[in-house]
Structure 1
């Protein structure tokens, strides 16, 4: 099981691998706002757990396990952001997502995913939700 910090590293490695193909220590350091030695230590842990192939001063390569977990982490993040948007949460959605994503169970993630899908497939129900006790009005007048 990955710690929240290790999940953040793996999620960013996965994002960089999709966007650029090549992942470097400096990319991760800049994105997460951490020192190069901190990134190197995290990479060694991820390497030892089988999520990446990493040697100092070389590019970082995700393993199949790393790709699967990275994809899950990115999809979890996107789904939570979408959920918070759909319910008209009056918060900093990316920050709130970051606060939630590491502490929510997989079963709750699956339930929220189903709810988001239900609202997408049933716009009339979603409109009813928006009208429920002024959800839509609260979003306009925080």
Structure 2
């Protein structure tokens, strides 16, 4: 049966993978390496890892070598870093707990979506497996976090919307927002103020000097002009896949 979602293969039961067996540094590295390719981007380089983790390239090289010695990553100098099967299992377990914590903070504790990433980063290293599974049950086993990122199941599956692309690559048409990057809290706050959240329908217009004009069908607010970097932070799926139709003009 076609579900309209792209599903990653199961990687074994991530409930059986206890990230506390690893150091917090190893947990962070595996999570970032896995997340880097989740939405179709190529494997991450050590230089990009250093930027994402706020450290130096030599520190990254040393840590990646240690992870390789533990059988968690495949490392070759000057080449992108890839996870082994064991590394993927640990990474998915970390991603699962991070996104469940983000969802819990928003839906239960009233945090805004621009506040939860760093908070979840701190909590994920201390939370027990029992706590994570109880949060999952309390929330009703959600399948995505507040930013639209899929929450891996206990079996390690993630359900990513099919045909999702960056807004930067979208031709004029009607789309539904699938995901918004949580890398920049200030940008999340701006997007939220304009109603740009996962599930929202947007009408994409024309580009001029790299800027993109969009509007929200049925919304009386003026069309919104997004800078190039902003359009790279939003992923959309064709509205047709959600049963939506309409003209592309703004």
Shorter-chain TM-score bucket reads 0.7 to 0.9
Q: Map residues 47-58 of structure 1 onto 2, 5 A cutoff.
A: 47-58=68-79
Q: 1:48 Cα deviation (Å)?
A: 1.1
CA distance in 1 between counterparts of 2:111 and 2:95 reads 22
The Cα shift of 1:47 comes to: 0.6
Corresponding pairs, count? 120
Q: CA deviation at 1:4?
A: 0.8
Rounded to whole Å, the distance in 2 between the matches of 1:87 and 1:119 is 13
Residues of 2 paired with 1:118 and 1:26: CA distance?
A: 36
Q: Choose between structure 1 and 2: higher strand proportion.
A: 2
Structure in which a larger fraction of residues adopt helix: 1
Note the C-alpha offset of 1:61.
Answer: 1.5
- Alignment map for 1:97-108 (pairs within 5 Å): 97-108=120-131
1:111 aligns with 134
Q: Find the counterpart in structure 2 of residue 7 from structure 1.
A: 27
Give the match for residue 88 of structure 2. 67
Cα distance change, pair 2–118 in 1 and its aligned pair in 2 (3 A): closer
RMSD: 1.9
- What is the distance in 2 between the residues matched to 1:62 and 1:90? 32
Gaps of 5+ in 2: 1-20, 144-250
What pairs up with 1:1-142 in 2 under 5 angstroms? 1-19=21-39, 20-90=41-111, 92-117=115-140
- Once the 2 structures are TM-superposed, how far is the Cα of residue 100 of structure 1 from its aligned partner? 0.6
> Structure 1 unaligned runs (5+)?
121-142
Quick one: structure 1 residues 118 and 98, their matched pair in 2 at CA, closer, same or farther if it must change by over 3 Å?
closer
Kindly provide the CA deviation profile for residues 41-66 of structure 1, in whole angstroms up to 9, marking residues without a partner as x. 11011111111110221221211111
**Whole-angstrom distance in 1 between the partners of 2:80 and 2:141:** 41
Instruction: Tell me how far apart the structure 1 counterparts of residues 142 and 44 of structure 2 sit (CA, whole Å).
Output: 37
Q: Report the TM-score when normalising by structure 2.
A: 0.45
